[in-house]
Amino acid sequence: MKYPYLENKNILIGVSSGIAIYKAVDLVSKLRKMNLNLKVIMTKNAKNWVSDQIFSAVGNCDVYYSSFDVKGGWIPHTELSNWADLFIVAPATANIIAKISCGISNDLLTSTAIAFAKESKLIVPTMNVRMYENKALQRNLKILEADGWTIIEPEVGHLADGEIGKGRYPDNDRILEYAEYLLCKKDFLNKKVLISAGPTVEKIDPVRYITNRSSGKMGYELAREFACRGADVTLVSGPTNLTAPSLVKNFIPVESAIDMEKVMVTYSENSDIIIMSAAVGDFRIKNFSAQKLKKDDVLVLELEKNPDILKELGEKKRENQILIGFAAETQNHEEYAKKKLKEKKLDMIIVNDVSRKDIGFESDENEVIVYSYGEEYRLEKNHKRIIAALIIDYVYNKFC
């Protein structure tokens, strides 16, 4: 996964002594692979779990743990808090949460937290479920939230002590998505965006179906980018192997074209921007069999046309609503694109050449041409997250 808004930023990681500290090592490892500047603060007790040398080696960065490591007028907590664009405390124990929420600064991590004046600060509580549900802990989290901290709630699952409940350290990609959100411009704040993604699936019988090669990656990256930039995103997705972006408020899984049509039409009424990036199947089985068919029975399948969702949305489009389509083509790209743009009453259409193996379906990269009335905008091959950002920049500059 790519995180362009973390590039060239100064990222400070604060590590306390939770058992989930080994996952913080992975977080530091992921950050090292990006084009950014990284530093780590550890509490004294955190070093009982993992050596500071491990964090330094994995992150290729400096690790700090003493408030008294003053050299040449360089005072750790004031200098580090000034240096960082983003401060992440992960894992955050009940103890460190209590101290920061109460303004206690008796070590380098808490002193830096008190001195950090920016709003770009994340805290990741991880602990036993009974500790997490404790009223004092919940009260402290509310104080932190009121003080400008973004809290990433822990996950529910098996905990280190054998109990099951809320307290697990979340996936690091989720943390990084929230980190990007704090550093990203919010030019789509309060905009309602509806996006379709992935393939549709049309059942033949209980074990067989027809579908297409769409991975959903382009639609998911568009949803991630819009959400990062402040939009209220609804993502309607056919079956994929992808995880819905953490910042997407409303994720609706569907299977068939009929399912997708119902959801898209319903949510389109209150949407400011609609993007149909899903590869909707053109046909469905006319007579679905409730029982598994024998081999000879599936030699001939009777098909019927699926609804043209994009055309239907174009016919229902209200004033000031932006409707964007995608076209996966193998030939005559410009001709087909301009025809769809006009016939389906779109504001713009994005075309990619799915005959190429290095872009489009299943690939992490894409190369597209954006057509709107009287304009053509070519986006050269790049990661789909970057393509998504450039498409959304175009939408903002042209329509917003």
Joined together, the tokens standing for residue 262 give 């119902």
**Do both 330 and 269 map to the same domain?**
yes
Per-residue pLDDT of the chain (400 residues; tens, 9 = 90+): 899 999 999 999 999 999 999 999 999 999 999 999 999 999 999 999 999 999 999 999 999 999 988 888 899 999 999 999 999 999 999 999 999 999 999 999 999 999 999 999 999 999 999 999 999 999 999 999 999 999 999 999 998 888 899 999 999 999 999 999 999 999 999 999 999 999 999 999 898 899 998 999 999 999 999 999 999 999 999 999 999 999 999 999 999 999 999 999 999 999 999 999 999 999 999 888 888 888 776 667 889 999 999 999 999 999 999 999 998 766 667 788 888 899 999 999 998 876 677 776 778 998 899 999 888 899 999 999 999 999 999 999 998 8
CATH number at residue 234: 3.40.50.10300
CA 374, 380, 385, 389 torsion-angle sign: negative
Q: Report helix, strand or coil for 238.
A: coil
Over residues 133-189, the pLDDT tens digits come to 999 999 999 999 999 999 999 999 998 888 899 999 999 999 999 999 999 999 999
**Do both 230 and 368 map to the same domain?**
yes
Provide the domain count of the chain.
2
Domain range for 133: 4-183
**Do both 76 and 224 map to the same domain?**
no
**First and final C-alpha spacing in the chain:** 28
**Which is the catalytic residue, given 212, 250, 306, 397?**
212
**Do both 178 and 219 map to the same domain?**
no
Query: pTM, whole model, 2 decimals?
Result: 0.93
**Do both 279 and 226 map to the same domain?**
yes
**Do both 346 and 286 map to the same domain?**
yes
**Do both 224 and 165 map to the same domain?**
no
Residue type at position 327? A
State how far the alpha carbon of 316 is from the alpha carbons of 235, 271, 301, 330, in Å.
20, 12, 33, 29
Q: Looking at residue 11, what DSSP letter applies?
A: E
**Do both 345 and 273 map to the same domain?**
yes
**Do both 165 and 37 map to the same domain?**
yes
Within a 10 A sphere around the Cβ of 102, how many other Cβ atoms?
A: 11
- Select from 155, 183, 211 the last residue of a domain: 183
**Do both 93 and 232 map to the same domain?**
no
- Select from 138, 158, 183 the last residue of a domain: 183
What's residue 337's pLDDT?
83
Over residues 216-273, the pLDDT tens digits come to 999 999 999 999 999 999 999 999 999 999 999 999 999 999 999 999 999 999 999 9
**Phi–psi pair at 157, nearest 5 degrees:** 165, -165
- Select from 183, 203, 222 the last residue of a domain: 183
CATH number at residue 132: 3.40.50.1950
**Do both 209 and 355 map to the same domain?**
yes
- Answer yes or no: 212 catalytic: yes
Question: Would residue 315 be called left, alpha or beta, if left means φ above 0 and alpha means ψ between -120 and 50 degrees?
Answer: alpha
Q: Report helix, strand or coil for 155.
A: strand
Q: What angle do CA 45, 51, 55 make, to 5 degrees?
A: 110
**Do both 208 and 59 map to the same domain?**
no
